[in-house]
Amino acid sequence: MKVKLLTYTPEPIKTLYTSARTCYSEEAPDDIWEKDIPLEKMHALIDKVINAGHHSVLEHISFTFAIEGISRSCSHQLVRHRLASFSQQSQRYVIVDEESFVIPSTIMASDELLNKYKALITEIHKTYKFMLEQGIPAEDARFLLPNATTTNVVMTMNFRELWHASVLRLCYKAQWEIRDMFRLIRKEVDKVIPGFARYLQPTCITEGVCYEINPCQEMEHYLKRRNETTE
């Protein structure tokens, strides 16, 4: 899997600050933009609007990512995020080759299971190719392909949606592949906007609260450690 931040709104912190400040200021947005505000002060106002639930401010900046080699199982979860924009490689126009599939580490750990897994994928691809050779259109032959098949996606999210999706998908209750993907997204954003990654975390870290029905082991340990330090 590969994730690359292709582009993002220039001057993202200044854009968020100017948008937030405009709500509470007599000054024109253009004048606020031209001021030389220290970075910490801008972050402090962004924190304030986040804590106040004034989240529409976060929609003024957006990020576009190139996501390569995730499984169709992962992309299916990803596209459930309705406020993002997606362009996904089409199985109607692109013929899938035999090497393009993801192997979960649980299966990789056992030679016996790995061999069975690979053998079945090889068999599926043989039949897929046979269907294509018989003149079956790719849009129909693809019905045979497994969830493991890899895909490429370009995804754009504004910060409000990126924040929301990261809270859900960086949680240990999320599935490993989409969690790995959001870790890479977080790293990419952190590379170009230092300090920004602190917003992209699950609520156990940012709020010390878990909203899952059955919290994960990590949350139980985290809360225990937290209680120990406050006692």
Ligand X SMILES: Cc1cc2nc3c(=O)[nH]c(=O)nc-3n(C[C@H](O)[C@H](O)[C@H](O)COP(=O)(O)OP(=O)(O)OC[C@H]3O[C@@H](n4cnc5c(N)ncnc54)[C@H](O)[C@@H]3O)c2cc1C
- Positions in the binding site for ligand X (CB under 6 A): 80-83, 161, 164-165, 168, 173-174
CB 71, min distance to ligand X, A:
16
**4, 65, 67, 87 from 152: Cα distances, Å:** 12, 11, 6, 8
Q: Are 142 and 93 in contact (CB under 8 A)?
A: no
Q: Which is closer to ligand X, CB of 6 or CB of 83? A: 83
H runs (alpha helix) in 52-137: 72-78, 105-108, 111-133
CA gap 87, 186 in Å, rounded:
20
In this structure, the strands spanning 62-71 and 150-158 are antiparallel
Q: Which is closer to ligand X, CB of 13 or CB of 162? A: 162
Query: Exposed/middle/buried for 165, CB within 10 Å: 0-12, 13-18, 19+?
Result: buried
Identified catalytic residue from 72, 142, 160, 169? 169
Per DSSP (E only), the strands in the chain are 2-8, 62-71, 85-88, 150-158
CB 130, min distance to ligand X, A:
34
CB 171, min distance to ligand X, A:
6
Q: Which is closer to ligand X, CB of 96 or CB of 181? A: 181
CA gap 96, 81 in Å, rounded:
25
Q: Which amino acid, residue 231?
A: E
Q: Which is closer to ligand X, CB of 33 or CB of 172? A: 172
CB 175, min distance to ligand X, A:
7
CA gap 200, 187 in Å, rounded:
10
Residue 29 host element (H or E): helix 29-34
| Active-site annotation holds for 169 | yes
CB 159, min distance to ligand X, A:
13
Q: Which is closer to ligand X, CB of 27 or CB of 177? A: 177
Give the active site residues.
169
